[in-house]
């Protein structure tokens, strides 16, 4: 078995166990036993249990393993179009297909964040949040203070996050038929974009 194979096997085993038990309750011995590798393999490939957990969280957040680049637009693109594109990219990431353990681990990390949360934010989220703030900077009046821009940005993110975290609740409340008919990604993008622009005084929240 090659070093890459051993590393991948450890990571594939560790993710579901961390998702089920959490960081503290999971042991290196259990992971290595299921991965059929020596207990020293975790330190060799990842440094320690904390780094292994962080890599598992990153895998859960980015199942493809491919870095997602910041969006780019041609000159003259309106900020409203940029906002819609940003919201679509956000929803697409949040609602992308994940395995049950990946969803479980991400939900665990959002509800009970660990040391891995900060690294995830710095590596994968901060730049995208900064780009959203740049777009809002084109929309909001120049005298809006930074903390208000942050609050607006979090409100937009929160609308998208709701459909990821509470997807089952949404289905129970509105029914499978309505959800299938009116809650596809492009429909949610249109709604969140229009509602957010309305909050900033640039659209009617309920216009067709």
Per-residue pLDDT reduced to its tens digit, 52-99: 999 999 888 887 666 668 999 999 999 999 999 999 999 998 887 778
Q: Same domain, yes or no, for 89 and 139? A: yes
156 membership: H or E segment, kind and range = helix 146-165
Q: Are residues 170 and 98 in the same domain?
A: yes
In a domain, 129, yes or no: yes
User: So what's the pLDDT on residue 89?
Assistant: 94
d(C-alpha 195, C-alpha 139), whole Å: 14
- Please report, rounded to a whole number, the percentage of residues in the chain having pLDDT higher than 70: 94
- Express as a percent the part of the chain with pLDDT over 90: 72
The Cα angle at residue 57 between residues 34 and 124, in degrees rounded to 5: 150
Query: What is the count of structural domains for the chain?
Result: 2
pLDDT at 64 (0 to 100): 64
pLDDT at 25 over 80: yes
Residues 56 and 93 in one domain: no
Residue 18: CATH number of its domain: 1.10.10.60
133 and 170 part of one domain: yes
Contact 111, 55 (CB under 8 A): no
Residues 188 and 135 in one domain: yes
Burial of 172 (0-12, 13-18, 19+ CB in 10 A): exposed
Look at residues 95, 94, 97, 101 and name the one whose alpha carbon lies nearest to residue 12: 101
Residue 205 lies in a domain: no
Q: What is the pLDDT of residues 123-171, one digit of tens each?
A: 889 999 999 999 999 999 999 999 999 999 999 999 999 998 888 899 9
Domain, as residue range, for 161: 79-199
* Closest listed residue to residue 192, CA positions, set 171, 164, 172: 164
Residues 128 and 154 in one domain: yes
| Statement: residue 35 has pLDDT above 80 | yes
**CA distance linking residue 37 with residue 126, whole number of Å:** 36
Do residues 190 and 92 both lie within one domain? yes
pLDDT band per the 50, 70, 90 thresholds, residue 26: very high
Would you state the pLDDT for residue 132? 98
**Domain co-membership, 85 together with 49:** no
Residues 119 and 183 in one domain: yes
Tell whether the model's pLDDT for residue 179 goes beyond 80: yes
pLDDT of residue 75: 96
User: Do both 52 and 83 map to the same domain?
Assistant: no
């Amino acid at each position: 078995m090659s070093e890459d194979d051993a590393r991948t096997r450890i990571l594939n085993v560790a993710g579901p166990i961390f998702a089920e038990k959490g960081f503290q309750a999971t042991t290196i011995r259990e992971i290595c036993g299921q991965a059929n590798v020596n207990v020293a393999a975790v330190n060799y490939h990842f440094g320690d249990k904390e780094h292994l957990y962080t890599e598992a969280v990153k895998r859960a957040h980015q199942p493809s393993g491919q870095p997602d680049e910041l969006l780019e637009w041609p000159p003259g693109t309106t900020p409203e179009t940029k906002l819609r594109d940003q919201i679509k990219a956000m929803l697409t990431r949040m609602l992308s297909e994940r395995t049950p353990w990946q969803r479980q681990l991400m939900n665990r990390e959002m509800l009970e964040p660990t040391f891995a949360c900060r690294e995830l934010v710095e590596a994968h989220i901060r730049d995208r949040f900064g780009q959203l703030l740049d777009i809002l900077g084109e929309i909001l009046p120049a005298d809006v203070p930074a903390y208000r821009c942050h609050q607006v940005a979090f409100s937009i993110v929160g609308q998208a996050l709701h459909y990821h975290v509470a997807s089952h609740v949404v289905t129970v409340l509105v029914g499978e038929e309505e959800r299938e008919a009116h809650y596809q990604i492009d429909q949610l993008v249109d709604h969140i974009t229009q509602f957010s622009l309305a909050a900033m005084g640039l659209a009617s929240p309920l216009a067709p």
